[in-house]
Amino acid sequence: MSTIIQDCLEETCAINPHSIEDYQSEVPRWCKGCGDHGVLASLQRVMRKNNVDPENVVTVSGIGCSSRLPHYLRTYGFHGIHGRALPIATGVRLARPEMKTIVTMGDGDCFSIGGNHWLHAIRYNINALVLVLDNEIYALTKMQVSPTSPAGTRSNTTPRGTYLQPMNPIGIVVGMTNVSFVAQTATWLPAHLDETIERAWSHNGLSFVRILQRCPVFMPKAYGEGGLNFPLVFLDNEDGIPINPALLKRGPAEAHNQRDINEALKVAARVDPAPMGLIYHNPDLPAYEDIRHSRAKRPDHETFLDRLDKVMDRYAV
Amino acid sequence: MSGPRLVRLSEHIVEIVSDAGEGAQKAAVSFAQVCAKAGNGLWTVEIIPSEIQPPPHTTGSASGNRIRLAENPVTNVGNLANVVFAFNEMALLSRFEAGTVASDALILIDDQWAEHDIEAYRQSYRRVLNDVRNKGCRVMEIPLEKETLRHVDNPQRGKNMFALGLLCALYNKDLEIAKGVIANVFKKKSQEVIDTAIKLCVAGYQWGLDNFETSYEVPAVPTDAAKVAMNGNTALALGAIAAGFDLCSMYPITPATSASHVLSDMFEDFGGFVHQAEDEIAAIGVALGASWAGKTALTITSGPGMALKTEFQGLAVMTETPLVIVDVQRGGPSTGLPTKIEQGDLLHALYGAPGDAPKVVMAASTIEECYYILSVARRIAEQFRMLVIVLSDANLATGQQLFDRPDVSHTPRRAPLDLSPVPAGTLPYDWDPVTGLSHRLIPGQPGGMGVITSLNHDRNGKACYDSERNQRAHKMRSRKLAALQKSLQPPEIHGDPDGDLLMVGWGSTRGAIEEAVDMARKQGVKVSSINIQFLSPLPPGLKEIFSRFKKVMTVELNYSDDWGDPLITEESRRYGQLAWVLRATTLMDIDCYAKVPGRPYMPIEIRDEILRNVETPSEKVPAESHAKA
Ligand SMILES: Cc1ncc(C[n+]2csc(CCOP(=O)(O)OP(=O)(O)O)c2C)c(N)n1
Ligand code: SF4
């Protein structure tokens, strides 16, 4: 069923008590044409579609243009510090596994300053929707090179062009031990973005979604001028991310088994054309917080005191 | 046979050292338990080799314990050792190199090295024993391995129990208590192991009775009061459980790690988690996230880890998220002296985070306090929505003290998370204009949705950049410290409320300072001391207390330039860290005795400093005449 028809049905039948406004707070302050607007809208649609109560959602971010998102999404938001969204989210997961958890970061935020946390969060496999809004540049600080900036990018710190090849974050994530969900999408493909976030939303584990994001202000030329002219291929699989026929105008589809790590590694190594869709999925890996909670049960008060007293016995003289 | 002549003493310090792995630790811990059960006051400190597997028969391999046993409760490691029981001469030498042995000490040493196959051992044995005899020590060579061999095949395993028996004879301890202790120490081993250990202990005891000319009696008052003995890190770990913490997030670092070992061993049984994060930044981030989500979290670390946590400290302060950080201080800067004590992180704790980041800083002064301090820290963190830094140190971390068994029934019952709805528009920072206090919202409360941010914000939590609201937010965060300060009591004065000299300490130097003050007072010196538990906010009444003494000085285990050092003048001298803080806050000329020996101060060192400072004319001393070597 298409999203639009379903929305209409739900509205008329009043199945869904939530409206988009329930997930809106401040008016976003991103630039006109910024891809971040699309990610916010897509999240709001997915949340509405899943009929989530906004008080049961936590949205954590770092610092950057992209990390402003929690200000505009009406949930319990935590706009943290640069690079450190994932540790905060890990704490939330350990403390309150019943809360739906979203993490938004920029490419500098996640791949550079937060690199250590990025790798380890994937290994922990916390149950969180992790969105990296990758505009291939440091935008908030006004155009410095990022780990994903294309070779030769002229930025304020590389005025004569970058010195290095860009990092391929998808290759790194798929190669990481305990990875459970990896997808790639783009802000100029709203339907695909919606479907990707929707698919990631229902994954129990860390769903890593790299969103190629337009930044018309500092990277107007990135991604073939914001997607106009960007070679990509849609990964096609029954259980993957649906490919709306209209999308095929943007690039061909290609069969891919996202359950097969070897296939996923091959796809992940490719950057041109960029693979779009669900690259790897293993629904059977336990989330870190579930493992931890299965081993630690808080006893009732009397048992608690009893156990503490027994511990004291060990040190008694 | 009459046995040894008995000498009564009010206290004694004995060090027991062997090569790592030879069992001096176990002998010492068992002997300490015998003393504790007998009712002696007690403080023990581990002697830890600097490497994991040091080469045997070297000074670097010395491993064991220092035990201070006394008639009365003991609050510190004490002065120079009166007895050293060494399993080889290099272990013995290491104690002299540490400078902690009295020049007239009794030395007990295994005599097997005198006729050892290896010529080098024979030589060094003779040389070291000659040296210590020349210093004035009495040396008693003990056929430790030879005697042990009469009872077991492998003397390596077992000589420590012979040594235990010997110590019981030396200190006139009841053998029956020792047997009970052995049975407990080896309770996970077979009955055969226990029986052999007891046999060896009895043999050692008998050997002692037959051969010692004198034995010591440190009288003890057996009490019915239940006592526990543990080190400060264990006390912190158990204290964290008793305080109701849900999560301890950490990254391994000496000397803090062993607290997380204890917690890891049992926290899950209490529904808690130890999360070993990928680094110290993540460790505090996880704790902060958990705390923001409504649970009670702490992170525990030492100096280098503290440095990494500073940005997150700022975030905790800015977002007013309750959080507790424990810093078990070690020698710095940088990797410094990882296993040794220093109180070098005070200013870092107070001012390490960039910007103005008001927070609570407290210091534990005894091992017992390590147990209770986290309950206080947690309450303050939650009531004031504040970051609380608790300072401990390597001395507390590895020393063992005897204290009253905590009554766990005082542990408060934990209320479930309050997730009741709040009216839409409830403010996340509903600051009381006087105290700066506000209620926090817990994720999951319907109606309370909103963002909290590291950016400056107003009562509604929203980012704002204008000067007026920036000034107000700073005021509100700072005001909470003033509100807390109002509830603090002036520190208790040890000694008279006025006099010639006041020694001001913080943290674990307390016991040694008070003991030094007592010694000096017996010599007629008008000296008193205080210990400051809250370093931020400082307790009320300090200036008033200080004004009643002719001179005030801090005693700290951190660096200060000495008067009389080349180039050091009143303008260039760098003071001890507490002195720095107190000079700034009281505008009084507060001096300091601040050094970095990498070990606790001995009370006699502080006593000597007291004497040096009252020998000078009792008028307030001008800076030049502070000059002293
Ligand atoms: C510790 C720290 N270092 C540097 C900064 C400055 N800073 C803020 S955002 C940013 C990079 C932003 O780039 P990115 O993460 O890609 O996000 P974008 O703004 O492009 O969405 C930097 C370097 C900071 N806030 N904190
Ligand atoms: S600078 Fe770029 S990334 Fe930032 S808001 Fe503007 S368009 Fe978006």
% of chain A surpassing 90 pLDDT: 92
Q: How far is A53 from chain B (nearest CA, A)?
A: 8
Q: Which pLDDT does position A3 carry in this prediction? A: 53
% of chain B surpassing 90 pLDDT: 90
Q: Verify whether the Cβ–Cβ distance B451 to A25 is below 8 Å.
A: yes
Locate the domains of chain A by residue range.
19-313
- Best probe of the A interface among B292, B400, B410, B413, by most A CBs < 10 A, is B292
A106 CA: nearest ligand 2 atom:
3
Q: Which pLDDT does position A8 carry in this prediction? A: 55
Q: Which pLDDT does position B628 carry in this prediction? A: 36
Q: Which pLDDT does position B425 carry in this prediction? A: 86
Q: Which pLDDT does position B410 carry in this prediction? A: 86
Among chain B residues, CA nearest to A23:
B449
Partners of residue A87 in chain B, C-beta under 8 Å: 277, 281-286, 288-289
Q: How confident is the model at residue B391 (pLDDT cuts 50, 70, 90)?
A: very high
A94-146: pLDDT as tens digits: 999 999 999 999 999 999 999 999 999 999 999 999 999 999 999 999 999 99
Q: Which pLDDT does position B624 carry in this prediction? A: 40
A212-249: pLDDT as tens digits: 999 999 999 999 999 999 999 999 998 899 999 999 99
Q: Which CATH class is domain A19-313?
A: alpha beta
B392-430: pLDDT as tens digits: 999 999 999 999 999 999 888 888 999 999 998 899 999
Pocket test residue of A71, A137, A218, A219 for ligand 2, highest count of atoms within 8 A of CB: A218
DSSP-derived secondary structure for A174-231: HHSTT--EEEEEETT-HHHHHHHHHHHHT-SSEEEEEEE---TTT-TTHHHHHHTT--
Do A137 and A223 touch, CB atoms closer than 8 A?
A: no
Q: Can you tell me the mean pLDDT for A60-76?
A: 98
Distance from C-alpha of A293 to C-alpha of A96, rounded to nearest angstrom: 10
B324-382: pLDDT as tens digits: 999 999 999 999 999 899 999 999 999 999 999 999 999 999 999 999 999 999 999 99
Q: How many beta carbons lie within 10 A of that of residue B617, not counting itself?
A: 9
B55-94: pLDDT as tens digits: 999 999 999 999 999 999 999 999 999 999 999 999 999 9
Among chain A residues, CA nearest to B292:
A92
Q: How confident is the model at residue B174 (pLDDT cuts 50, 70, 90)?
A: very high
CATH superfamily name and code, B229-406: Thiamin diphosphate (ThDP)-binding fold, Pyr/PP domains (3.40.50.970)
Instruction: Name the residue with tokens 């077991």.
Output: B152
Locate the domains of chain B by residue range.
5-217, 229-406, 419-487, 499-612
B591-600: pLDDT as tens digits: 999 999 999 9
Q: Which pLDDT does position B219 carry in this prediction? A: 94
Classify residue B57 by its DSSP letter: S
Q: Which pLDDT does position A177 carry in this prediction? A: 95
Ligand nearest to the CA of A106: 1
CB-hemisphere CA count at 13 Å for A16? 21
Note if the bond before B490 is cis, omega within 30 degrees: no
Q: Which pLDDT does position B414 carry in this prediction? A: 86
Q: Which pLDDT does position A12 carry in this prediction? A: 52
Q: Which pLDDT does position B225 carry in this prediction? A: 83
In the predicted structure, residue A304 carries a pLDDT above the cut 80 = yes
- Best probe of the B interface among A47, A124, A311, A313, by most B CBs < 10 A, is A311
Q: Which pLDDT does position B625 carry in this prediction? A: 37
Q: Can you tell me the mean pLDDT for B456-462?
A: 95
DSSP-derived secondary structure for B200-240: HHHHHHHHHHHH-SEEEE-------S-EEEEEHHHHHHHHH
Task: Please state the pTM of the whole predicted model.
Answer: 0.94
Q: What is the ipTM of this complex?
A: 0.95
In the predicted structure, residue A6 carries a pLDDT above the cut 90 = no
In the predicted structure, residue B315 carries a pLDDT above the cut 80 = yes
Do A240 and A278 touch, CB atoms closer than 8 A?
A: yes
% of chain B surpassing 70 pLDDT: 97
A157-215: pLDDT as tens digits: 999 999 999 999 999 999 999 999 999 999 999 999 999 999 999 999 999 999 999 99
Instruction: State which CATH number among 3.10.450.50, 3.40.920.10, 3.40.50.300, 3.40.50.2300 fits the domain covering B5-217.
Output: 3.40.920.10
Ligand 2 binding residues, C-beta < 6 A: A 30-31, 34, 36, 65, 135, 139, 215-218
Q: What is the CATH number of domain B499-612?
A: 3.40.50.920
Low-confidence winner among A10-19, A246-255, A303-312, B179-188 (lowest mean pLDDT)? A10-19
B523-575: pLDDT as tens digits: 999 999 999 999 999 999 999 999 999 999 999 999 999 999 999 999 999 99
In the predicted structure, residue B618 carries a pLDDT above the cut 70 = no
